[in-house]
Amino acid sequence: MEVIFSSVLTTILVVAILSRKRKIKLKKIGFRQSTLHLIVRDIIPSNKDLKNKVVTQSKLHIQKNTVKVIKTSDNKVYWVDNNNFLCADIVDGEFDKELGKPIDTSNLSKEEVDDLLYILDNLKNG
């Protein structure tokens, strides 16, 4: 990206210098800022490309020691632990992680599997 940008800039400078030496007048072209942006937006990286994702020690600690869960209306909690999709019942507003049972999808209907996949997608995407 930087090479392309620098080569275009160099070409423009060379043409400008040669045109002044040869006394060739170039037609002046006026561009609006929005037009220039449309021209260079595919060449110059966006702000999202420039931002680096910083992985700090505290973020790693939080990822290791927390679990994302989803509570459903039928007083069940779903979460993923060690690549297992687990389910537990809620008792008095809380659940015990140790009582989580893996979900067996072989006996479920298509609608139930679709519901579980929806829950799994929401767990993954936050």
Burial of 100 (0-12, 13-18, 19+ CB in 10 A): buried
Q: What is this structure's pTM?
A: 0.52
pLDDT of residue 83: 85
The residues spanned by each domain of the chain are: 2-50, 57-125
**Which residue, 107, 23, 105, is CA-closest to 119?**
105
Question: Which stretches of the chain score pLDDT less than 70?
Answer: 1, 18-27, 49-50, 126
